[in-house]
A and B are shown apart, each in its own frame.
Chain A
Amino acid sequence: MAIEATAGGQSAFDQLVQEARPKRTVAQNLKRFARRKPAGAVSAVVLILLALIALFAPVIATHDPIRDQVAAERLEAPSSSHFMGTDNLGRDVFSRVVYGARISLQVGFLAIGLGTVIGMIIGVLSGYLGGKLDLVVQRVVDVLMGFPFIILAMLLVVALGASLLNVGIALSVAIVPRVVRLSRSSTLSVKEEVYVLAAVTIGVSLLRMVLRHILPNTLGPVFVLATGALGGVIVAEAGLAFLGLGIPPPSPSWGGMLNIGARGYMEAAPWMVIFPGIALSAVVFTFALLGDALRDVLDPRLRRGDS
Chain B
Amino acid sequence: MGTLLEVRDLRTEFNSESGIVKAVDGVSYDLQEGETLGLVGESGCGKSVSALSLLRLIPNPPGRIVGGEVIFEGQDLMKLTERQMRSIRGNKIAMIFQEPMTSLNPVLTIGRQLTETVELHMGYSPEAAVRRSVELLEMVGIPDARSRLSNYPHQFSGGMRQRVMIAIALSCTPRLLLADEATTALDVTIQAQILELIKNLSTELGTAVIIITHNLGVVARYADRVNVMYAGKIIERGTADEIYETPRHPYTRGLLGSVPRLDVDREDRLASIEGMPPDLDRLPPGCSFVPRCPHADDHCRAEMPPLSSKDGTEHVYACWKGHEFGPLELVQTQA
Closest to A35 in B: B17
A306: interface (CB < 8 Å): yes
A94 to chain B, nearest CB (A): 44
Which size bracket describes the interface of B in this complex?
10 to 19
Q: Contact: B16 with A306, CB < 8 Å?
A: yes
**Main SS of the interface on chain A?**
loop
A25: interface (CB < 8 Å): no
**Main SS of the interface on chain B?**
mixed
Quick one: which of B16, B17, B59 contacts A307, CB cutoff 8 A? B59
A32: interface (CB < 8 Å): yes
Q: Contact: B16 with A32, CB < 8 Å?
A: no
Q: Contact: B17 with A32, CB < 8 Å?
A: yes
A189 to chain B, nearest CB (A): 20
B285 to chain A, nearest CB (A): 26
Q: Contact: B62 with A306, CB < 8 Å?
A: yes
Residues of A contacting B16 with CB < 8 Å?
Answer: 306
B320: interface (CB < 8 Å): no
Chain A: how many interface residues by the 8 Å CB criterion?
5
B238: interface (CB < 8 Å): no
Residues of B contacting A32 with CB < 8 Å?
Answer: 17
Binary interface encoding of chain B residues 1-27 relative to chain A, with 1 for a CB under 8 A from any of its CBs, else 0: 000000000000010110000000000
B53 to chain A, nearest CB (A): 11
B63: interface (CB < 8 Å): yes
Docked Cα-Cα span, A304 to B63, in Å, equals 12
Docked Cα-Cα span, A307 to B48, in Å, equals 9
Binary interface encoding of chain A residues 273-307 relative to chain B, with 1 for a CB under 8 A from any of its CBs, else 0: 00000000000000000000000000000001011
Docked Cα-Cα span, A306 to B17, in Å, equals 12
Docked Cα-Cα span, A32 to B17, in Å, equals 8
B218: interface (CB < 8 Å): no
A305 to chain B, nearest CB (A): 9
B117 to chain A, nearest CB (A): 22
Residues of A within 8 A of B (CB): 32, 35, 304, 306-307
10 additional A-B pairs beyond A304-B59, A306-B16, A307-B58, beta carbons within 8 Å, are A32-B17, A35-B17, A304-B62, A306-B14, A306-B62, A307-B48, A307-B49, A307-B52, A307-B59, A307-B63
